[in-house]
Amino acid sequence: MFDYVIERIKNAELTEAPFRHLYLENLFSPEHFAEIMSAPEIRIPAKRNDADLFDALFSSGYKIVNFPGCITNQKKYIAWHEGGKIAADSHSLCEAFGITLRLEEPSTEILLKIKDFLSSDAFNSAIADKFDIPLAETFLDNGIQKYLDGYEISPHPDNRKKALTFMVNINPDPGSEQREHHTHYLALKPEYQYVSSFWRDNSDCETCWIPWDWCETEFLQSKNNSMVIFSPSYDTIHGVRARYDHLAAQRTQLYGNLWFNETPDLLRVDWEDLDIKTTAQNKKVELSLKDSIAGLLPKRGRRFLKRILKRDSKTVVKVRLKK
């Protein structure tokens, strides 16, 4: 039924900016996309409040899932959304949090066929082959998802356990392209490009979320019926900040990943650890810096840090590596 989607993926040229990815518009045929948009699980009628919306989503087959930038406690989310404070355990870079729901039990025929398609060997072989990923070394994780207001993932390249990710916009709101809930594809500002160099040269260190003001948006995936696929690397930086009225219509996607079956343990490196700031007021490099992290960084990381310190004697580096 969706063989034409696989052929488009196979024949499409990869785009290199801001990083290597595949982008397709008008992924599904007009007939198929119209069917998707008319499915009652996608086009949830407008609701008066959050409680009513959750009831409608649950009755449509959605379930709350654990997802980055989100919490899983419905009552806690509603309390925050009605004017409460963000939880103390939220990520230090986030001003809000959302809830993500996955359609576990679709009932409309077109959505049942899409669910089967996303899990098919034909589709997953096509996307894996496009990025030279051995499919046998991965496992699947995909579905139809809705993301409520407040959902936020700061810029990040995805962690190293992920082999590939894809996103298809199937937003039921006719004005969705103007809403503030789309994925930003970003590039580091010149003064922060050392961060991707660090990730590139230190595969023993995990990547992390970083501040929005370290980056610039190069591309916004706002088009409905558009698809992006990429294989995470040191430069595949992307992020989302959802600020919109989800009572009228919800941000909705076909979303999926290929995850590596086996990955090594990695050093944890948070954004504060990578916060290298140059100031004219401070012309000293703290001598304790090299002593405190020399034994923790891999050899390549020590060489990288040495270059940074040698390049600018005004640099102040804050590094606190943790397992």
Q: Specify if 191 maps to a domain.
A: yes
The structure tokens 């079956």 sit at 261
Q: Are residues 209 and 292 in the same domain?
A: no
Q: Per the domain annotation, does 192 fall within a domain?
A: yes
Q: Which of 204-213, 245-254, 297-306 is least confident? A: 297-306
Residue 200 located in a structural domain: yes
Same domain, 228 and 279: no
What pLDDT sits at residue 40? Answer: 97
CB atoms under 10 Å from CB of 227, counted, come to 24
Residue 234 confidence (pLDDT) above 60: yes
78 and 209 assigned to the same domain: yes
- Same structural domain, 247 and 280: no
Least confident segment among 46-60, 151-165, 284-298: 284-298
Residues 302 and 189 in one domain: no
- Is residue 323 a part of any domain in this protein? no
Classify residue 143 by burial, with Cβ atoms within 10 Å: 0-12, 13-18, 19+: buried
Helices (H), 186-225: 194-201
Structural domain boundaries enclosing 291? 271-318
Q: Are residues 236 and 276 in the same domain?
A: no
User: How much is the mean pLDDT over the chain?
Assistant: 87
Instruction: Assess contact for 45 and 37: CB atoms under 8 A.
Output: no
Do 154 and 275 lie in a common domain? Answer: no
* Domain finish residue from 219, 236, 260: 260
Distance, in Å, from the CA atom of 203 to the CA atom of 195, rounded to the nearest integer, reads: 13
Phi, psi torsion values for 308, nearest 5 degrees: -60, -45
What is the tens place of the pLDDT at every residue in 30-84? 999 999 999 999 999 999 999 999 999 999 999 999 998 888 999 999 998 888 6
* Residues 274, 194: Cα–Cα separation, whole Å: 9
Both tokens of 162, joined, read 């992920």
Contact of 9 with 130, CB cutoff 8 Å: yes
CA distance 276 to 316: 6
The residue among 220, 241, 260 that closes a domain is 260
Q: Which of 49, 91, 44, 78 is nearest to 272 (CA)?
A: 91
Q: Nearest CA to 100 among 82, 81, 74, 80?
A: 74
Q: Residue 266 domain-assigned?
A: no
**Mean pLDDT across the stretch 162-166?**
98
Claim to verify: residue 35 and residue 160 sit in the same structural domain: yes
Are 238 and 167 in contact by the 8 Å Cβ rule? The answer is no
- Grouping H, G, I as helix, E, B as strand and the rest as coil, residue 186 is strand
The gap between the terminal CA atoms of the chain, to the nearest Å, is: 47
Residue 265 falls inside a structural domain: no
Burial class (CB in 10 A: 0-12, 13-18, 19+), 39: buried
- pTM comes to 0.85
Residues 125, 166, 230: CA angle, nearest 5 degrees: 85
- Nearest CA to 319 among 310, 307, 302? 302
Count of residues making up the chain: 323
SS3 category, 107: coil
Query: CATH number of the domain that 53 lies in?
Result: 2.60.120
What tokens does 129 get? 């082959």
295: which 2 tokens?
A: 């034994």
Between 263 and 184, whose confidence is greater?
184
Distance CA 26, CA 7 (A): 14
In this structure, are 178 and 308 located in the same domain? no
Does the residue 84 lie in any domain? Answer: yes
One domain for residues 139 and 165: yes
Two structure tokens written together for 239: 């992020």
170 and 283, same domain (yes or no): no
**Domain end: 260, 279, 296, which one?**
260
| 176 is a domain residue | yes
126 and 217: one domain? yes
- Asked if residue 258 has pLDDT above 90, the reply is yes
Rg (CA), the chain: 21
